[in-house]
């Protein structure tokens, strides 16, 4: 199981370009009632099903949606970090806020981003799949990673410009901030 933290995934100029684009063009978030992606996974006592807002940047579905304001910026990040040789399944932004009675130990629904059986059913047979969580801002609200038995194996704290890259399917969950006003990430799902 590989989980790699990359500080300076985006340099300061790239970080500011993302932040300024979000401020200028990023007001089209959609409210998402639940972050549950895999209903087959068990709940744990620290799991909280919190709401969040999401904005799709790219999706490789039959209707292939592209946000032309953000896509060139985030694609350049993939290229700079040697990841542009992957196919893009999805890129989206998430933002969440403090959740009532939330603690630093709580996390959202445990899930994995890419189910190979779904893609095989679509005859796309990818050999390798990875996810990237890019942190847009400094905040609390760790990304939490789990083994197959849902035991916590790693926590990564959000730092502006940092990314965590991991193989799929690794179970993981985001956390709501407790002390920060919000937590904002860009989530990439890529495959070969």
Domain range annotation of the chain: 3-191
Average pLDDT, the chain: 85
On whether the CB atoms of residues 91 and 71 are closer than 8 A, the answer is yes
Question: What's the confidence (pLDDT) of residue 112?
Answer: 85
- Of the two residues 170 and 115, the one the predictor is more confident about is 170
Asked whether residue 12 carries a pLDDT value surpassing 90, the answer given is yes
On whether the CB atoms of residues 103 and 178 are closer than 8 A, the answer is yes
Q: Does domain 3-191 have CATH number 3.90.1150.10?
A: no
Tokens 């790699």 label which residue?
Answer: 4
User: What is this structure's pTM?
Assistant: 0.88
pLDDT exceeding 70 applies to what percent of the chain? 85
HEC-encoded secondary structure of 84-115: CCCEEEEEEEEEECCCCCCCCCCECCCECCCC
Question: What's the confidence (pLDDT) of residue 144?
Answer: 96
Any bridge partners for residue 92, and if so which? 56, 187
Asked whether residue 168 carries a pLDDT value surpassing 90, the answer given is no
Q: Would you call 125 exposed, middle or buried from its count of C-beta atoms within 10 A (0-12, 13-18, 19+)?
A: exposed
Tell me the pLDDT tens digit for each residue of 73-120: 999 999 999 998 899 999 999 999 998 888 999 998 888 887 554 554
Q: For residue 1, what pLDDT band results from cuts at 50, 70 and 90?
A: low
Asked whether residue 124 carries a pLDDT value surpassing 80, the answer given is no
* Alpha-carbon gap, residue 4 to 132, rounded angstroms: 9
Question: What's the confidence (pLDDT) of residue 121?
Answer: 46
Tell me the pLDDT tens digit for each residue of 32-71: 765 444 455 567 778 887 888 888 889 887 777 788 888 9
What does the pLDDT average to over 155-174? 95
Question: What's the confidence (pLDDT) of residue 178?
Answer: 95
């Amino acid at each position: 199981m590989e989980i790699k933290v990359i500080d300076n995934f985006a340099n300061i100029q790239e970080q500011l370009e993302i932040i300024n684009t979000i401020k200028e063009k990023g007001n089209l978030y959609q409210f998402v009632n639940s972050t549950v992606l895999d209903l087959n996974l068990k709940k744990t006592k620290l799991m909280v099903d919190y709401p969040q807002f999401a904005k799709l940047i790219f999706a490789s579905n039959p209707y292939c949606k592209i946000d032309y304001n953000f896509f060139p910026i985030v694609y350049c990040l993939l290229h700079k970090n040697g990841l542009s040789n992957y196919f893009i399944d999805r890129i989206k932004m998430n933002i969440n806020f403090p959740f009532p009675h939330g603690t630093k130990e709580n996390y959202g629904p445990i899930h994995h981003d890419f189910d190979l059986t779904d893609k095989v059913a679509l005859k796309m047979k990818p050999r390798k799949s990875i996810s990237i969580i890019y942190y847009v801002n400094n905040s609390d609200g760790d990304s939490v990673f789990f083994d197959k038995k849902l035991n916590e194996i790693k926590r990564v704290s959000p730092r502006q410009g940092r990314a965590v890259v991991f193989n799929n399917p690794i179970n993981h969950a985001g956390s709501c901030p407790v002390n920060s006003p919000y937590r904002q990430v860009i989530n990439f799902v890529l495959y070969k």
